[in-house]
Amino acid sequence: MGRGSLSIGKIYGISINLHYSWFLIVALMAWSLAIGYFPAQIPGKNEALYWLMGVLAALLLFASVLLHELSHSIVAIKNRIKVESITLFFFGGVAQVHEDGFNAAKELKVAIAGPLASFALALIFFLVSKVSMAYVSSVLAYVAGINLVLGIFNLIPGFPLDGGRVFRAILWWKLKDLNKATYYAAQAGKVCAVLLIITGVMGYFAGRIDLWYILLGLFLYSVANSSYSQTVLGSILKKVKVKDIMMKKFRTLDAGSSVLKADFKKVISSDQWIYPVKAGRKIIGVVSQEAIEKAKVSGRKAKIGDIATPIAKVKSVTPDDDCMKAYELMAMQGMEILPVMGKGKAIGIVKAATISEILSIENAKKRK
């Protein structure tokens, strides 16, 4: 589960998470529909009914977004691509798909699955709305319309939208170069984002409140930019194995040691500032110098093991994993080091600083 998210279960082995911003957008959407859209569609009814319709429509819409992301994920799994999680958030949903084993054909299949699912849902909701009572029909017709818009919008050829991924897959197939394909698709994504922002600004001067277009445009521009950087990052780090950069000699701390007696004078100049914590010969967690110093300042009488992050909550890598996996796990957990496990025990650590050095060296080579 990512930071800032709540796990609500698993589907097909995929962790389903709700980012905290999801609750905000569901509440805003339900409120907007309850006080504006549905009273205009079916005037003169009870306020409680409008709220019920608003909440139902908002939940059905996000259930549709979940099915949209699940369609991507299921196609990915069928193509032997690992899917870690799906997270619903303010702007919709995102599936965390591991791109190991990806090629242009697989990307095309995975990308197109989402819009096709949205079009199918639009048709289903529309047909069911025709045989439902008035209140339910109005809700289903609204959700059908939004699914249709969602499907069309996602076909816009700007990365990281689904249409942008289709565009990248075609470029990848033609150019045989993922970095170049991503660059051009991301540039198209930026153009789409700028057009959304311009639409929002023009709407404002025309007397409409189109803040949503501006926010979505800013979000897409940022993600298009970071997506290209992430692809370039992967092209570098996937070539380097963890075993090539891991520290085999590292200091550990004893879980039974007192926090108040912990002394880092001998290692304060060292670049290792996060430590595996051992109970006997077993690694039970990790702890940072910062966490220990905070415990000292508070005067807390605790053992090192009491303030350590349990090993069960710390993802690990193996010597044969590539550095991109290590980088992604560190980013996901907000950690600066990861334990390297081999034969059931910690045999080393890999540091974010070392990965940063690799990237700096590669960037320096490119500048030459």
Distance between CA 159 and CA 58 in Å, rounded?
Answer: 26
State residue 267's pLDDT score. Answer: 47
Q: Is the pLDDT of residue 316 over 70?
A: yes
Q: Show the CA angle centred on residue 288, arms to residues 4 and 295, nearest 5°.
A: 90
pTM surpassing 0.85?
Answer: no
138 with 34: CB under 8 angstroms?
Answer: no
172 with 104: CB under 8 angstroms?
Answer: yes
Beta bridge partners of 14: 11
Q: Which two tokens stand for residue 70?
A: 């699940």
Report the amino acid identity of residue 140. Answer: L
Collapsed DSSP state (helix, strand, coil) of residue 210:
coil
What phi and psi, each to the nearest 5 degrees, are found at residue 360?
A: -65, -40
Query: Which of 62-76, 78-92, 157-171, 299-313 bottoms out in mean pLDDT, i.e. has the lowest?
Result: 299-313
Q: Compute and round to an integer the Cα radius of gyration of the chain.
A: 25
Using CB atoms within 10 Å of the CB of residue 241, give its burial: 0 to 12 exposed, 13 to 18 middle, 19+ buried: middle
- Residue-wise pLDDT for 215-274, tens only, equals 888 888 888 888 888 888 888 888 888 888 888 877 778 887 777 766 655 444 455 667
Pick the CATH number of 242-367 from 3.10.580.10, 3.30.2310.20, 1.10.150.20, 3.30.1280.10: 3.10.580.10
Residue 112 parent element (H or E): helix 104-129
Using CB atoms within 10 Å of the CB of residue 366, give its burial: 0 to 12 exposed, 13 to 18 middle, 19+ buried: exposed
Report the amino acid identity of residue 233. Answer: L
What does the domain layout of the chain look like in residue ranges?
5-237, 242-367
State residue 365's pLDDT score. Answer: 67
